[in-house]
Structure 1
């Protein structure tokens, strides 16, 4: 059982949502990746792993990727600066029908990799597997499809590069080891983890993994004021929209109201919406912030806009109805508080039979 469930949850959420923890395998961060000379291209043109950031995903029809639509979106959105490649080690007669069935869902480079290429890139055979290769042909990141979004965005925005990710890899590994598993001295492990976040943030001030871990540690180590200090010192210009939104949600989800620091959440929400104003997830966060601040009409307007952008999401509609119910409740409460309480009715005289009998005065001793 993990030593610290709260910190373990932070680590897991960060690894899944932010993609900030590269998985090191046979190919090391910063190393030149193998050439794709053993690839037969069956969709689009061959790709050279230099000159632009390249996303390479190895998959198979038996372990299909769930991210084909997203990869197509990324390829279209960043076509000038990002190459998207899907590679399978299976036979053409297996892969071609699979690709044809998906139709336009896969609109990026697809190739058939020979056994030597697959072994060089994915020696453990665990698929699907994603590699981000910088413009110099060096491995910048390696992990699973669900983990790549944040680091990909930071690479595209230029807020990190391969050299920085290479420096961060051992520091983040140290922090993971301190926040996972059992430790003989948990208090010392927490203190060491705090120092590890300090080292990471000195290298990468916008590192979401270190920031969220630091927020959790701050309460445990009685450094709660550091939460506000860390938020105030955030270099907003280095945050991607996804990272800004994740940090905003982290604060809104915090059960300790005193540590939410909602005034410092506002710039995070604005940052996300400035970079991507039509992303429903970021508008939802804005609506949550507005509702939390008591601005119900504004929250309803924001949630309505998010639902308009994603009308098939039933959860968005349910939340919108919740905000509307809050507005109704607010009106009811304001009416009740503004209405004077009715005066107490005058005391009614009791029936004679219920009235108290007159007090009997003791006449004292009888004098003969």
Structure 2
């Protein structure tokens, strides 16, 4: 049986260069980075080298890059500390954010009695900028806006410049979950009207368990995790040197090869969309994920013309055929409530049909897509699964 991995938006395979760099770090650099002896100084030097390298690529100061355990911690750190330390009274987000933002925002509204507002989104997942401006101009309360750059389920691209400019106009802080875009798009954070951003190494062929927060200098945030003075006092705890080395290696390779690899993956997405339309009449693309101009090149989210019986068996059948993909987001695969993103943007009739997210990387081959499409075509043709 063929094995096809089409779930890169959930996590990506490690590059061999990353594995090698991490193995070397584990074997040769085991000192505590906070220790003053030679073993500790070697680890500290490596961490600061990684910080400087990432900051230079992002166009920011090294002190504005804070290493974390990943995107979820970075999102929590920024939102929680902004409310606690900066006097945020109104938090504005959308109902299609990653749960790292959405659940944190909901918890903060209860814990701190702040106002939580949701900017409406259209059927493509784009926020209503007029409604956002109305929320920003409503009163003099100190506000923080949190809207993701690339939606992890439907791939919609947010206009960071437009949203950031609105925030600046009304003296609001702007945080964007950039987990699905850093490593996949050129990003100069200094030139963007952003105060906070987040990244996770495992989204661009690095290790799980490490990422970073971008915190614009002099914003005044304190530490979320208390303890030692690591990470400029923003994040206590002994730094995982081997993971940071893996992050740096994956980050550098992602941007060194960005032009070539993004062109290749964009070609895969274009091919997949056209081939799927031909193979499965009646397939529909959720949001604007079928449009490369308006959505990320790394994923596609689509609905299939299947009856209730077919919908129940779809993911099980794909797994039996060796195909890995997601129904909605892998981050919520244990939930029985369905995708909160699709629930927000689809009509009741559209929600009755099963949706899949397939996501690609430079390791994906065209033959993988041909195989997946052939399996979908046969499944959708089966009398017990097809509509009508």
TM-score range, shorter chain: under 0.3
Q: TM-score, normalised by structure 2?
A: 0.24
Q: Which has the higher contact order (CA 8 A, sep 6+)?
A: 2
The structure in which a higher percent of residues are helix is: 1
Larger-Rg structure? 1
